[in-house]
Chains A and B, each alone.
Chain A
Amino acid sequence: MNPILATLLQGFFIILIAPFASGLVRFCKARLQGRKGASPFLPYYTFATLFKKQMVISAATSWVFRVVPFVVFSTSIALAFILPLLFVGGKLASMSDFLVVAGILMIGSIFLVLGGLDPGSAFGGMGSSREMTIAALVEPTIIMVFAAMSFVGGTFAIDGMIGQQLVFSHPYLLLSIFAFLLVTLAENARYPVDNPATHLELTMVHEAMILEYSGAYLAMLEYASAIKLTVFAILLSNFIFPATVGVAASLGIGSALVAGIVAIFIGIIKVVIAMGLLALLESVVVKMRFYRMQEYMSIAFFTAMFGMLIAMFSYVIEVAIEYHTLFAALAVFFVILLFGRARSQVMLRYYAFSSLSIAGIAFGLSFILGEEEKKHLWLFAAVTILIKSIIIPIVVRYAQRKHKEFISSPSFLRPASSYFVAVVILGATFFVMKQTPIIGVVEFDTLLFASIALVGLGLATMIVHRNIFSQILGLLIIENGVTVFTLVTVKSLPLLIELGVFIIIVASAFILSILGSRIREFHGSSDTEDLRNLIE
């Protein structure tokens, strides 16, 4: 399969399958909603029909309006030919430098924005303004995601990144891939950023910009959007399963044919699965209000940044990331997510996940340590899951049951600033650890970092949130941090002490929740701002 042929095959495959992909998403969504749904092959007919229709061009437009569909379509097909979708090492592989790819995406977005502004309608202006905001705010995330991958892989071309199969040996790159998933949803105008199915002002970004286009131009713009969706879906699946990508080496005719057919077959499977999952996601997730986009972008950016920081960290301290490190990072990560949320049910859920990750730490440590430690650690993990992930949330919910309205504990900070403060706390922890000479005395540096970070974040939760119940949660998080600390230093406690500690935790959580609930009944509010004065 020589490189030129591979690139051409890949490009034409993407161009041909794109309408099927966008039709398949609609079909799967319809089935999930209990409808029969139109055939997934309908978009082919739609595009053919659109080309036959007469175009209506507004008198307010200029030549820019006519240039837009061509530029947008050509950037989409450029992506289809350049990126490593079916084959790695195609003819244009050296062009898949991630900044060039980001730039090509941006050119497409810019011209779409100009096409929305040209007809001089308020709809188009609104869509253009929103789309440009999203494109501008997604750019740092794209750069951070690929910076992490190129830092780990040593190559700037996306072709090289996929060719090296980085994800298996570097599990923290899963964070970068998650951030890339969020970027994919934003760039392709999917939930929760944009709704491609409605024409309501509330939910339009992409649709608003192409509102004035009709006939052949509309076909080109929608086709370009479908191609972009297919490209991103296959690229994402290539990042997660890099082994499924073919290599474009020079082969004989027979094996080249076989390689080509296998690649096309794998491509079709990837498209079908990706579109099915996308339809599932769109049916489960709600479209976010546009002015909450900063939260979405912050989450994407900080996840990507987290991935990059862990990559740099592991390089500097030359520690291979093992399971327990991964779980420690997850534990801290869930607490950071908890930090920015307001609803108590969501916070309890994240706390449960964080405790689950701590059980995972114990589990991971059990692979490294000796036999008698293993039993203790497994018992510890099992009891942690039972008590912290299951019983404590039940206990706290039971204590709050008298108040059916959901307990919302707003914080003094907005979500984006909370994430920022959390990252600052992590950085401060890192610097404090670098200064004190504890490093080298204990074996597991990353766990020590995680435990101190958990204590710090728990304290910050108690300070920053305004609700009494969040004080309880902060205490529980601090206790989690202390648990990880004991795991690091002592590696496993005698059984009796462990059980005693767990019973105390459950009891204190129960008592504090009842107390909090009583305070709420008595004073009428659980907001600490209202509880500053004594009542007669």
Chain B
Amino acid sequence: MTIDSIAFGFFVYFFGLFFAGCFALFGGQWKKSVQLFVLVNVIGFITGILYLFNFAPKEIVLASWNWLFDFAPTINLLSAIFFTVISGVSALAGVYSMRYLELYKETYNPALTQFLTVVFVLGMQGVLLSNNGLAFMFFWEVMSISSFFLVMADKTSQSVRAAFLYFIMTHLGASAILGGFLILSGGNLFFNFADVAALSGNLSPMLVVLTFLLFLFGFGSKAGLVPFHVWLPEAHPQAPSNISALMSGLMLKVAIFGFIKIVFAMTNLPDWAGIVVIALGLLSALVGVLYAVVERDMKRGFAYSSIENMGIIFTMLGISIYLLSQSSDDSIVIISNIIVVFAIFHAINHALFKTALFLSSGIIINRFHSKRLEVMGGLAKIMPFFSFAFLIAILSASPLPPFGTFYGEWGLIENAISLLSSPLLSSVAMLIIFGSIALMGLIGGLAIFAMVKIFGISMLGLPRTAHIDERSEKTDFMLSVPVMTLGLGVLILGIFAKPIIGWLNGYGNILATSPSDESISAITSHLSSSMVFLILVIFLALTYALYNFFGKNVTEREYKTWDCGQSIDATMQYSATAFSGPIRFFFLHLLGRDKVLKSIAAVESNIWIRKYTFSLLLKSVWKDKLYQPIAGILNFLAQRVRVIQGGRIQYYLLFVLGTLIVTLIIVL
């Protein structure tokens, strides 16, 4: 296995994507394009795995195109991890889109959608491989613009509005990142990422703070950090489901990748930088999970769950940054590194399960022709295999053993507890870590609540609407198989969590580009992740055996649900609003809602017979109190500035001339 074959694999990948895009755009043969897309992504996945096994963490420069803006795609440990994940997940999403685009031929233009998807994945992978600032920004913009068009793929006014909001936020973020790059490199966008540490050392403290804040805003707004998150619950639901899956599962990880790559390489961050990241991370996690619990639109619920998981990842990264700034003692550095490894492990798991969840939501919405949880129900009887796959996906989305998501939270809490007994931390640090442990417990519990609610209301019971599409499951098996694969992927990551995390941690710093001699292991617990899985399976098998032994003669008969003699129908079941009612009640001060209950007399002769109208509107307190005023101010300013657009061409020409003269005066 030589470096050349790895480079060959990457070239095949990118050229394959290019051809897939061409198929979709020029020939209109979107089916061939999807097949090529899947094949190419499988090749990419294999290449990434081969790199990780043989060459990591050595940094390999794949090509060197000095004439094309100094672009030399390089692959190192961090990029390879995310590259492999993106390739694997895109391959499965491609399999899904073969059937999905066929089902939605009328709504989305399949060829155009497929072309934009290819460009989107190209952009994401390009960001991972870029070595200088310009290439990074170029591929970042490719990623953002293609996803902007994808969000408005169904051309309804709602999705156009959501796409517009997304466009504004993503460009604000991109300009922040661009600004950060310019400050860091002193105006030269062609700086190599290997020099970030040196460059940040040369900056004055004020500039370092400004750069850090710009990067936090840029990468945070893309990743969905509160309070920059408002676009996420609007844009992700409006996109086609396979695109929502790619956006939520993969694009957010690219933002995490950028944050780790750049902020962790900066050397003289202020002390409070870590605290800000931890605070924003915990806030995002709490806001995300609370809104996910009370949300009644399935895809919005999943979008808020993404915000929550990104919050958890940023909390872990923030703790790591804070530890590194507090002390450079070996024990603290080891714990800081392993927390970053757990964060990346959690990010990989999130990529898998969030994609699975959004792909499932596509199937469910296709059956019920609506995104609202209030009209769903009873799908488990119609689609048993899919409901089993969805159950695995939902369980993998909750922090439960033996799934991989559990180990991310496990790592955070157990390392935090070991940190508390370290004598090197100040009391402020201890209080912060203690607070994050307290909040993580609450967030984990509520996350499980949200996931169980979505599964229970959509799959179980009876359908709450008559417009359910009851065709057989076998026509859609290509939709269910990717979901099952992704869910099992999280399970496998969970079973092999200990070896994987041990291996990732063995390189010391995650940004290392050369193998280190000492392999430091910070895991002191004796928990074996594969044993956890084995134990659960053994006890399940034991239970089954006991049942078959004791219950040999058990018979059963079918009857309707117990109804006290008065027949019940599907609308009497608990709805999603009711299921999340207690949590809404307990956290009322943190959530905004409008509840209106009107009762008018229905019959004139008897005022006790009344007609009740009930409406419950969930408000986003961030949108109302933060974004609307800012949007209002911007609109006001824009109205004032409009005055100069009088309509006469002569004034415009004079204006351009004036600006040119002023610019020349400044520059010269």
Contacts and interface: CB of A to CB of B under 8 A. Distances in A.
Interface of A: 51-52, 54-60, 62-64, 70-71, 73-75, 77-78, 81-82, 92, 94-95, 97, 99-100, 103-104, 106-107, 110, 113-114, 117-122, 124-126, 128-130, 132-133, 135-144, 147, 150-151, 154, 156-157, 211-212, 215-216, 220, 290-291, 293-294, 301, 305, 308-309, 312, 315-316, 434
Of A57, A92, A95, A309, the most chain B CB neighbours within 10 A belong to A95
B540 A70 contact: yes
B551 A132 contact: no
A484 to B, nearest CB: 23
A105 B117 CA distance: 42
B562 interface: yes
Contacts of A110: 395, 398, 400, 448, 452
Contact of B456 (A51, A71, A114, A215): A114
A52 B553 contact: yes
A74 B532 contact: no
Contact of A216 (B445, B547, B570): B547
B343 to A, nearest CB: 17
Given A54-B555, A78-B535, A120-B378, A290 B582 contact: yes
Contact of B556 (A95, A135, A151, A215): A215
23 contacts: A54-B555, A57-B557, A58-B558, A60-B561, A64-B387, A103-B406, A107-B400, A110-B448, A110-B452, A117-B457, A117-B461, A120-B378, A120-B460, A120-B461, A125-B579, A128-B456, A130-B582, A135-B448, A140-B442, A216-B551, A301-B438, A309-B434, A312-B434
A95 B449 contact: no
Given A117-B457, A137-B442, 16 more contacts: A59-B559, A63-B380, A63-B384, A64-B387, A78-B535, A92-B535, A94-B527, A110-B398, A120-B462, A132-B449, A136-B446, A136-B448, A140-B442, A154-B421, A215-B556, A312-B434
A193 B380 CA distance: 32
A55 B555 contact: yes
B574 A126 contact: yes
- Chain A to chain B: the 6 pairs with minimum beta-carbon distance, closest first: A125-B574, A140-B441, A139-B445, A120-B461, A136-B445, A143-B441
Interface string B401-421: 100001001100110010011
Contacts of B455: 114
A254 to B, nearest CB: 31
| Size bracket, chain B contacts | 35 or more
B525 interface: yes
B550 A133 contact: no
B648 interface: no
B53 interface: no
Contacts of B562: 58, 119, 121, 211-212
B543 interface: yes
A215 B554 contact: yes
B452 to A, nearest CB: 5
Contacts of B579: 125, 128-129, 132
Given A117-B460, A121-B561, A125-B579, A62 B380 contact: yes
B543 A73 contact: yes
A144 B437 contact: yes
Given A64-B391, A125-B573, A216-B551, A99 B413 contact: yes
Given A56-B559, A64-B460, A99 B414 contact: yes
A82 B534 CA distance: 13
Contact of A122 (B384, B535, B568): B568
Contacts of A130: 582
A117 B421 contact: no
A367 to B, nearest CB: 29
Of B434, B453, B556, B561, the most chain A CB neighbours within 10 A belong to B561
Contacts of B525: 97, 156
Contacts of A434: 427
A113 B462 CA distance: 16
Contact of B560 (A52, A60, A139): A60
A56 B556 contact: yes
Nearest to A104: B401
Contact of A74 (B387, B445, B542, B583): B542
A126 B580 CA distance: 10
Contacts of B527: 94-95, 97, 100, 156-157
A334 to B, nearest CB: 23
B417 A156 contact: yes
B335 interface: no
Interface string B15-35: 000000000000000000000
Given A59-B558, A216-B551, A99 B406 contact: yes
A1 B380 CA distance: 48
B560 A55 contact: no
B464 to A, nearest CB: 9
Contacts of B420: 151, 312, 315
B39 to A, nearest CB: 35
Contacts of B430: 312, 316
Nearest to A100: B401
A128 B574 contact: yes
Interface string B634-661: 0000000000000000000000000000
B518 interface: no
Contacts of A92: 535
A95 B457 contact: no
Of A82, A100, A216, A305, the most chain B CB neighbours within 10 A belong to A100
B445 A140 contact: yes
B460 A122 contact: no
B563 A54 contact: no
A186 to B, nearest CB: 12
A121 B457 contact: no
A126 B445 CA distance: 19
A121 B563 CA distance: 8
B544 A70 contact: yes
B582 A58 contact: no
Nearest to A301: B438
A75 B540 CA distance: 8
Of A117, A137, A147, the most chain B CB neighbours within 10 A belong to A117
A133 B581 CA distance: 9
B433 to A, nearest CB: 10
Contacts of B452: 110, 113-114, 132
A136 B449 contact: yes
Contact of A147 (B377, B401, B417, B554): B417
B543 A60 contact: no
Nearest to B525: A156
A427 B401 CA distance: 35
B65 interface: no
Contacts of A60: 378, 461-462, 560-561
B460 A118 contact: yes
B301 to A, nearest CB: 15
Given A62-B384, A97-B527, A140-B438, A57 B556 contact: yes
A138 B442 CA distance: 8
A135 B401 contact: no
A100 B410 CA distance: 9
B561 A95 contact: no
A124 B377 CA distance: 14
Nearest to B380: A62
B446 to A, nearest CB: 5
Contact of A144 (B441, B446, B574, B586): B441
B614 interface: no
B399 interface: yes
Contacts of B459: 62, 64
Of B395, B417, B430, the most chain A CB neighbours within 10 A belong to B417
A55 B582 contact: no
A62 B460 contact: yes
A82 B535 CA distance: 9
Contacts of A305: 438
B381 interface: yes
B383 to A, nearest CB: 10
Interface in B519-535: 525-528, 531-532, 535
